[in-house]
């Protein structure tokens, strides 16, 4: 992709814009950036001329963002943040023999991947690792990760998807909740305590009851949470029964802080995949990580 130099502003000018917008003052921005007030004013005039819109409105002794400025500010902050992140990643990589950047699903990363990473790093002691959370597919050209762990279908533009594992979810509850509300059948489960739902999978309980041939009046009632980590904590707190993947609650099942109500799992339609951008397919470290994590998952 060829970039137009005419359309790319000086990063210093964007920093000045963000600072002036944050303070609502060219004078305060000048103090923070060790510039003169006239230099700040001149840079903002240059930026407004380049964009072709007024970014600030002058009101008495203050400057206030215009409507266009308010729309522009979040994008500038995102770009400055990405620039800083890129520099920090490059600086970290320059001090290591090699580096690997991974995008992973939040709860999968914290509960399954993190406890196992020391084993991988033991074999690559000179490597600098960077792990970030991403829940949806993204453009590898805009976010330069070496690979991603993706839940869904094996479809990703300009990348190769390698099957990692399927997902099996089971109904669980805290020991106290189960003792207080004994459950003998799947139908009884729906009426003895609230059901905990993952907001991105609102039909999970309905699907589970269906494969149990259990007719439930309202499988959608209960509490809803945005992330699996929240559902897990809600289940531990005894707020209700949850449908959770076994791999996310390995420690809880082992310690007994969560118990499986019925060992009758629901196999989800989607699976987990390792996604590698086309230009990283031959990267030795990426291939080493793929081989390691596939071995950690084991036979499916």
Any domain includes 241? yes
Any domain includes 162? no
Any domain includes 16? yes
Residue 102 shares a structural domain with residue 190: no
CB 11 within 8 A of CB 83: yes
**What's this model's pTM, rounded to 2 decimal places?**
0.69
208 compared with 93, residue with greater pLDDT:
208
CB 227 within 8 A of CB 273: no
Any domain includes 104? yes
Task: CATH number of the domain at 57, please.
Answer: 1.10.10.10
Residue 134 shares a structural domain with residue 205: no
The dihedral through the CA atoms of 127, 132, 134, 137 has a sign that is: negative
Residue 201 shares a structural domain with residue 136: no
How far is Cα 196 from Cα 235, in angstroms, rounded to an integer? 8
pLDDT at position 92, please? 60
The pLDDT of 174-192, averaged and rounded, is: 88
Residue 178 shares a structural domain with residue 230: yes
Domain count, the chain: 3
Any domain includes 121? yes
How far is Cα 258 from Cα 242, in angstroms, rounded to an integer? 10
Residue 11 shares a structural domain with residue 87: yes
Residue 59 shares a structural domain with residue 147: no
Last residue of a domain, one of 56, 71, 91: 91
Residue 56 shares a structural domain with residue 118: no
Beta strands per DSSP E along the chain: 56-59, 62-65, 98-104, 127-133, 147-152, 159-173, 195-198, 223-225, 241-245, 259-260, 266-277
- What tens digit of pLDDT does each residue of 56-65 get? 998 877 889 9
pLDDT at position 86, please? 76
How far is Cα 68 from Cα 42, in angstroms, rounded to an integer? 19
Longest dimension (CA), the chain: 77
- What tens digit of pLDDT does each residue of 203-250 get? 999 999 999 998 888 899 999 999 999 999 999 999 999 999 999 999
By residue range, what is the domain housing residue 181?
Answer: 167-270
Residue 174 shares a structural domain with residue 264: yes
Any domain includes 77? yes
How far is Cα 151 from Cα 34, in angstroms, rounded to an integer? 47
At 39 the three-state DSSP class reads: helix
Residue 276 shares a structural domain with residue 266: no
Spatial CA neighbour of 149 closest among 111, 122, 187, 119: 111
Residue 282 shares a structural domain with residue 217: no
CA distances from 14 to 8, 51, 66, 83 (A): 10, 12, 16, 11
Last residue of a domain, one of 34, 61, 91: 91
Spatial CA neighbour of 121 closest among 111, 133, 112, 130: 130
Residue 259 shares a structural domain with residue 172: yes
pLDDT at position 98, please? 76
Residue 135 shares a structural domain with residue 102: yes
CB 171 within 8 A of CB 189: yes
pLDDT at position 2, please? 52
Backbone torsions φ then ψ of 284, nearest 5 degrees: -65, -40
The pLDDT of 67-92, averaged and rounded, is: 84
Task: CATH number of the domain at 291, please.
Answer: 3.40.190.10
Any domain includes 53? yes
- Residue 79 CA to its chain's centroid (Å): 18
Any domain includes 197? yes
pLDDT at position 60, please? 73
Last residue of a domain, one of 59, 74, 91: 91
């Amino acid at each position: 992709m060829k970039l137009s130099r005419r359309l790319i502003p000086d990063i210093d000018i964007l920093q000045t814009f963000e600072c002036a917008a944050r303070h609502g003052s060219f004078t305060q921005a000048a103090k923070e950036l060790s510039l003169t007030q006239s230099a700040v004013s001149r840079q903002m005039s240059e930026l407004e001329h380049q964009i072709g819109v007024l970014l600030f409105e002058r009101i008495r002794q203050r400057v206030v963002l215009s409507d266009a400025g308010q729309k522009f500010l979040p994008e500038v902050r995102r770009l400055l943040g990405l620039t800083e992140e890129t520099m920090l990643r490059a600086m970290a990589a320059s001090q290591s023999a090699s580096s690997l950047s991974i995008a992973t699903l939040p709860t999968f990363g914290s509960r399954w991947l993190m406890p196992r990473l020391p084993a991988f790093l033991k074999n690559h002691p000179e490597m600098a690792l960077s792990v970030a959370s991403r829940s949806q597919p993204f453009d590898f050209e805009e976010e330069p990760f070496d690979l991603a762990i993706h839940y869904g279908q094996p479809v990703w533009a300009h990348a190769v998807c390698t099957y990692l594992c399927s997902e099996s979810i089971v109904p669980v509850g805290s020991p106290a909740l189960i003792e207080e509300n004994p459950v003998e059948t799947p139908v009884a489960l729906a009426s003895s305590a609230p059901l905990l739902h993952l907001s991105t999978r609102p039909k999970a309980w309905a699907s589970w009851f269906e494969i149990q041939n259990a007719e439930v009046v309202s499988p959608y009632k209960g509490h809803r949470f945005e992330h699996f980590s929240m559902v897990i904590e809600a289940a531990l707190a005894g707020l209700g029964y949850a449908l959770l993947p076994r791999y996310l609650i390995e420690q809880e099942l082992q310690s007994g802080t969560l118990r499986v109500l019925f060992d009758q799992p629901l196999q989800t339609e989607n699976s987990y995949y390792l996604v590698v951008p086309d230009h990283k397919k031959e990267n030795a470290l990426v291939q080493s990580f793929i081989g390691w994590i596939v071995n950690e998952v084991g036979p499916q």
